Chains A and B, each alone.
Chain A
C-alpha cells in the first residue's frame, strides 16, 4: 500500500524567512510519481510539481525548490524568502504504476502561515 507522511501539521514563519516542508513516502512500486499541491483558503488545489522516480534531480522554480532523495524516500519542498501569499495548506502526493495502481494518495497536509 502507498503512504505519504507529512509530519509537520502546522508551520508559522515571518515573511522573508526560508521554510522547508517535509514529505516522506512509502511504496512498493519501482516506478512512481510524486507531486506537490497547494490549497489556498479558496479551497482549490493547485498543482506545483510532478517528479518521476527515475529523476532525482533537484528542481528550482523561482522561490520554490524541491529535493528528491530516493535513499530516504523523501521529497521535500522549500520556499525561499517566503511571502504572505504563500500561506496555504500544502499537500504531498504519490501515485504508482504497478500493483498500487495510479490512484493518487495524499498526505495529511502542512498548514503554512506566513506572517508579515
Chain B
C-alpha cells in the first residue's frame, strides 16, 4: 500500500516569496491534515479536511496561509508571503475516519525561509 506522498522534500526561499506544498493521501482516506513542525517541537495542526470540506482551520494563519483539497483527494498548502518564522517541516497526514483514529504521515517538506 502506498503511503502519504509529499513534495517537494526540501524548499529554500527568501522572505516575502511564496511557496506551495503538495500532498497525496493514502487512497480511500477521507481525512487529510496539514501540520507544522518547528525544530525541536511537536507537530501543530494547521488545517484538517474531511473530503473536500474544512473541519478545523482555527490554527491556520489565514492572512498568509491557504490550503485547498479539490475533489477530496490531493491537497496543496500555500504560504504567501513567507516570513522567517515559517521555517519548519510541513507534514501531511491522512486517516480513514474523521477523528481520533491513527494518522499516517508523509515524510514532510522542510522549508527554510532566508
Contact = CB atoms under 8 A, between A and B. Distances in A.
A52 B45 CA distance: 21
Interface centre among A33, A45, A108 (most CB of B within 10 A): A45
Given A103-B48, A103-B56, A47 B104 contact: yes
A45 B56 contact: no
A102 B98 contact: yes
Nearest to A96: B100
B91 interface: yes
Main secondary structure of the interface of B (DSSP, over half): loop
Interface of B: 3, 40-45, 48, 56, 89, 91, 93, 98-108, 110
29 contacts: A37-B105, A42-B107, A43-B89, A43-B91, A43-B110, A44-B3, A44-B105, A44-B107, A45-B91, A45-B103, A47-B102, A47-B104, A50-B100, A50-B101, A91-B42, A91-B43, A93-B42, A95-B100, A97-B99, A97-B100, A101-B99, A102-B98, A103-B45, A103-B48, A103-B56, A104-B45, A104-B103, A108-B41, A109-B41
